[in-house]
Amino acid sequence: MTGIGQIASAIGGALTTSPQVMPGGATGMTSSPGDTPFSGIFQSIVAQTSSLDKQASDAVTGLISGKGIEVHDAMISTQKADMAFELALQVRNKAVGAYTQMMGMQF
């Protein structure tokens, strides 16, 4: 699995949580022992997006310079990079929205 699939599976793996009973009987959600923190997942998404962008850039450069890169390979690479960027952007937007909503809460 490469590119978008890796990013999606990294996000999906982070969403698995298990309930935990806190002192006083309150319940909360905690990460399972093998989960990666959100910052690690986001750094991974950015790194994979950057890698896909470099691959797309190399494919387009190879196509333009005539190094035997086919047009459809260059188009597939650019679409993968575009989709990875859009996914990373949406994850960032959701994280910023959640942060903004939490900051607006009154305790």
The pTM assigned to this predicted structure is 0.64
Mean of pLDDT values over 9-29: 52
Q: How far apart are the first and last CA of the chain?
A: 44
- Taking only Cα atoms into account, the Rg of the chain, rounded to an integer number of angstroms, comes to 19
SS3 content of the chain, % helix, strand, coil (to 5): 70, 10, 20
Residue type at 16 in one-letter notation: T
Mean of pLDDT values over 41-67: 93
Mean of pLDDT values over 48-73: 94
Q: What is the mean pLDDT of the chain?
A: 80
Of 31, 39, 27, nearest in space to 13 by CA: 31
Give the list of residues 6+ apart from residue 4 with CB closer than 8 angstroms, or none: 80, 83, 84, 87
Span of 8-12, 41-45, 89-93 with lowest mean pLDDT: 8-12
- Answer for the pair 8, 44: CB distance below 8 angstroms, yes or no: no
Mean of pLDDT values over 69-96: 94
What is the pLDDT, as a whole number, of residue 18? 43
